[in-house]
Amino acid sequence: MRYFYVLWGKNEMSSNEVCLLLGATGVGKTLLMKRLHNILCVQFVNLHGLGELGATPSTLPTVGTNLTDLTLKRKKLTVRELGGCMGPIWPSYFKDCSSVMFMVDSANIAQISSSCIQLLSVLSAEPLRSASVLILFNKRDMHCTMSLVEVKSLFRMDDIIASATQPITTLELSARSGEGLQEVLSWLESITVK
């Protein structure tokens, strides 16, 4: 099933840049996209920045793909969120994208190593060798047993960044509380002006 969140215009997939949003099931990808959509709607309507995030929207695990069209600095970007359960077929979507956001649940220590393996598979894919990559450490509002420095160390972020062919940015955020969402929008804007 496909869901379209279209902002300010028709959905014209062929003329948009495409950013993939990847990560394991339950890391917060759908909530992130709903929050970004709400922020852009508030900015468009009120023209006063972030405004109120409002109540946390409900989400269901994505089975398939969600498409969200965003207008950032007068350019359109389509974010294609792929369900975590679709991991084995993610590569079939790689050739159609120019950037990747990879989300990690930093509060789920048991999932860190499998997320790292998934990320390495994504970064080594030939169609993504020059794609801009944003790694999002989500759920920083939750109590977890390790600090972000420890999570990044376990993830071996320094080694991944040093060996990757892609430009990689890392951000911590809480899609639930809204912390870090403006930085995600800034990164998305930066990749659309290239």
Check residue 185 and give its pLDDT. Answer: 93
pLDDT band per the 50, 70, 90 thresholds, residue 37? confident
Contacts of 129 (CB under 8 A, 6+ apart): 165, 166
Q: Give the whole-number percent of the chain exceeding pLDDT 90.
A: 47
More confident residue, 88 or 60: 88
pLDDT band per the 50, 70, 90 thresholds, residue 135? very high
**Residue 43: pLDDT above 60?**
no
More confident residue, 117 or 48: 117
Helices 148-155 & 112-123 angle (0-180, nearest 10): 50
More confident residue, 138 or 71: 138
CA–CA–CA angle 55, 25, 90 (5° rounding): 120
Element (H, E) at 164: none
65-72, strands of its sheet edge to edge: 2-5, 65-72, 75-82, 17-23, 99-105, 132-138, 168-172
Q: Give the whole-number percent of the chain exceeding pLDDT 70.
A: 79
More confident residue, 44 or 25: 25
Check residue 81 and give its pLDDT. Answer: 95
Q: Are 132 and 99 in contact (CB under 8 A)?
A: yes
pLDDT band per the 50, 70, 90 thresholds, residue 53? low
Per-residue pLDDT tens for 70-122? 888 778 899 999 988 888 999 999 998 999 999 999 888 888 889 999 999 99
Average pLDDT over residues 153-164: 91
Which residues are registered as beta bridge partners of 95?
A: none
Check residue 140 and give its pLDDT. Answer: 87
This prediction has a pTM of 0.83
CA-closest candidate to residue 78, choices 19, 23, 12: 19
Per-residue pLDDT tens for 160-185? 999 999 999 999 999 988 899 999 99
Q: Are 133 and 141 in contact (CB under 8 A)?
A: no
Q: Tell me, what amino acid is at 177?
A: S
Find the distance separating the first CA and the last CA of the chain, reported in whole Å: 32
* DSSP 8-state symbol, 84: G
